[in-house]
Amino acid sequence: MSKPKNILTWCKARLGEDMNWWVHEISDPVHWDVDGLGIIDPRQFQHLLDLLEPLSDYGLRNELVDDAFYSFGIDKVEKDKTVLLNRVKDSILESEEPLFALPDVLDEEKGPYADLLDHVSRLRVKMLNDLIDFSQNLTLDELEEEIRQLQGEDFLEGRAVHFFSELNTILEYVPAGYKLDEDDDGKPASEEEELEKNLADVETDHDEKIEEDETMKWDEEEEEEEYEETTKPPDEHAEN
């Protein structure tokens, strides 16, 4: 479905208690239901771009990213604290201005945003299989199943899944028991490595100053009394 460029010209967004922006009103209420409709703010979108960057080595298609979002710029803040956002023609990837990004979800199953989710999910799986030494390759089904479980928990608790959270969860996904960062190759820590880490923690704790308790204070008092007794002048010993 093509984007209704002449109809979707503006929207109003409100900052929610979850610190995400949610669409409050839109210029095209016929095609868009604002109930639970999130919009990605410029800071969040930049974070997503940072997470997308490593996928460039695995075939990321920037045109899919660009086509998946409607771009909006800030016009003004209303008295009710909603922010009026106007559509802009600039590419959200090429614009130098901070832009809000509204995913194109007019067709939730086959639209541009759905295509992007499928694309980045496949690339994330490809990257993880490349960087992590799994006993058996991770599959797209495994990633999607875990994502659905997380979203199901939000649904049961009455929370709408924000688009930022949806994308962020995929782009940061790592199977349980593994980690992936600049200082690690993604392999789970071996028992030997865990033992060395625990021993290092124990040594560190041992070197730290031990807090005094009442027993230690009692011992110190006894030592002070013995010292005073042995250092008394001879005449004081005689009087006693």
With 90 as the cut, is the pLDDT of residue 55 above it? yes
Predicted TM-score (pTM) above 0.75 = no
Q: Looking at residue 232, what is its pLDDT?
A: 54
- Cα-Cα-Cα-Cα dihedral of 215, 216, 221, 223, to 10°? 120
Question: What residues have CB less than 8 Å from 124, skipping those under 6 apart?
Answer: 55, 143, 170, 171, 173
In terms of average pLDDT, the best of 39-48, 88-97, 100-109 is: 39-48
Question: What residues have CB less than 8 Å from 140, skipping those under 6 apart?
Answer: 121, 122, 125
Q: Per-residue pLDDT tens for 119-173?
A: 999 999 999 999 999 999 999 999 999 988 887 776 666 678 899 999 999 999 9
With 80 as the cut, is the pLDDT of residue 6 above it? no
- Give the count of beta carbons closer than 10 Å to the beta carbon of residue 89: 7
Over residues 53-71, mean pLDDT: 96
* Domain residue extents for the chain: 10-171
Which of 44, 1, 47 shows the shortest CA–CA distance to 22?
44
Q: Per-residue pLDDT tens for 160-172?
A: 889 999 999 999 9
